[in-house]
Amino acid sequence: MRFIYILPGWEGSAHDGRVLRDAISRLDGFQVPQGQYYLVDAGYTNANGFLAPYRGQRYHLGGWTAQNPPCSVEEYFNMLHARARNIIERCFGRLKGRWAILRSPSYFPIKTHCRIIMACALLHNLILQNMAEDPLASEDGMMQDNMEILEGENDEPEFITHISTSNEWTNFRNTLSQGMYNSYRARGH
């Protein structure tokens, strides 16, 4: 539930992919190690380092019930993807819940507003890092997870430097999806 990279200042109408490309291309930008990936919503392309849901398939959590379960590899993947991405949405909700200044339009100059966003996100992370229990966690029903940081063998990992679709990445998502769906079906669903 922590922020790892913040890039304030873009207009809300900017395309998600354009903002992500800018974040990756910056000298001090967002770094995604090769072989790792982040979950992204359908506003982004499914590309190396960024795992997007299948388009044209059910996605939102309310779309599945016991009477209406996922009926394809793509729908099952999208359901699990939506569950995981829900944590990201809750993180933003908690940030806005914690800092009232982020809940309404800003009349500050853009530079000041960007600094406010950065300060709120950093304080949010500091609270999560230093408090035994987040007071807002009980409000959204979130249990704190202890995330173990894994140390890699390579001190200088290679990072993804551009975003583009590839057959290799599409095959990765398809193989991952098929494996998850096979496990789901093996459990009798």
pLDDT per residue over 68-90, tens digit each? 889 899 999 999 999 998 888 89
- Confidence band, pLDDT 50/70/90 cuts, at residue 150: very low
Q: Is pLDDT of 51 > 90?
A: yes
Among all chains, which residue has been given the structure tokens 């019930």?
Answer: 65
Q: What is the C-alpha separation between 116 and 28, in angstroms, rounded?
A: 20
Integer Cα distance of 121 and 85 in angstroms: 19
Q: pLDDT at residue 149 above 50?
A: no
98-104: average pLDDT: 92
Q: Are 48 and 160 in contact (CB under 8 A)?
A: yes
Output the pLDDT for position 102: 93
Question: What pLDDT is stored for residue 64 in this prediction?
Answer: 79
Residue 169 pLDDT level (bands cut at 50, 70, 90): very high
Query: Per-residue confidence at 146, pLDDT binned at 50, 70, 90?
Result: very low
pTM for this predicted structure: 0.78
**Per-residue pLDDT averaged across 34-61, rounded?**
90
